[in-house]
Amino acid sequence: MTVSWENEPYFMGAFKANLPGHYRYQRRLYTHFMQDRLPEDKRGIFLAGDDISWTAGWAEGAVQTALNAVWGVMHQFGGSTDGTNPGPGDVFDEIAPVELPED
């Protein structure tokens, strides 16, 4: 059986994941590695890849979200980064994407 994303409903393809009106969805995907505020039963799955990043379709976004996911896994298991080299979750409140109203 072959599954092609191109045959799936709502497939947007590379470079089309950042369309007007999709900011709230992109922000949710990109920031999901910060799971402390999620209900416990929603924690523990960490996504990474170019389709999770701000720059869909580019390797840089895939690497960035992979590093975010690694930080999330480390944090969930009680690990921490060196204070002189903070990870993305350590400085999240300072660098997080702006949260826009939902309306």
Model confidence pLDDT, tens digit, residues 83-102: 999 999 999 999 999 988 87
pLDDT at 88: 96
In a domain, 89, yes or no: yes
In a domain, 70, yes or no: yes
In a domain, 1, yes or no: no
pLDDT at 6: 72
pLDDT at 12 over 80: no
- The count of domains in the chain is 1
Q: Is 22 helix (H, G, I), strand (E, B) or coil?
A: coil
In a domain, 64, yes or no: yes
Cβ contacts of 62 within 8 Å, gap of 6 or more:
48, 49, 50, 53
Burial of 18 (C-beta count, 10 Å sphere; 0-12/13-18/19+) = middle
> Domain range spanning residue 56?
13-95
pTM of the model: 0.78
pLDDT at 50: 80
pLDDT at 4: 73
Task: List the one residue out of 32, 35, 42, 30 whose CA is nearest residue 77.
Answer: 35
In a domain, 2, yes or no: no
